[in-house]
Amino acid sequence: IANDMTAVDWSKDDETRSLYKHIESVLAISKQSESPKIRRIIYELTTVFTPELSVDEIISRMVITVKSSLKADRVGLFILREDKRTMVLKVSERSKGIILQVRGLAGAVLQSNSIINIVDAY
């Protein structure tokens, strides 16, 4: 991954800009982390980035990598829409393209910009 995301010559659509922003955040967190597990996950995530892949393919591979690394039952990725009141489920094993209001667990994660780990969701 390039250290300066502006140097990457991909399309400049909203999803790509959002992806770059999140990548920069993840890289900043990984530099501060002393956890070997976090560093390993970050390394695994960096291996999914190749110029031949579309943004959708990269996002899909990222979700698969995170799910595997965290041994999670499910992982989904929501993208906040321009109206800032709704989000769209971009990647999930079961479905995608679902539009939701920014509320509930996914909305809480979005608004707090933090992780919510549900230990026993069932």
pLDDT tens digits, residue range 29-65? 666 767 787 777 777 777 777 777 787 788 888 888 8
Predicted TM-score (pTM) above 0.85 = no
The predicted pLDDT at position 93 comes to: 66
Residue ranges of the alpha helices (H) in 1-122? Answer: 14-32, 36-46, 55-70, 104-112
13, pLDDT greater than 50: yes
| Beta-bridge partner residues of 88 | 79, 99
4, pLDDT greater than 50: no
Residues 12 and 44 in one domain: yes
The predicted pLDDT at position 98 comes to: 84
Domain limits at 10? Answer: 1-72
Residues 48 and 23 in one domain: yes
Residues 66 and 79 in one domain: no
101, pLDDT greater than 80: yes
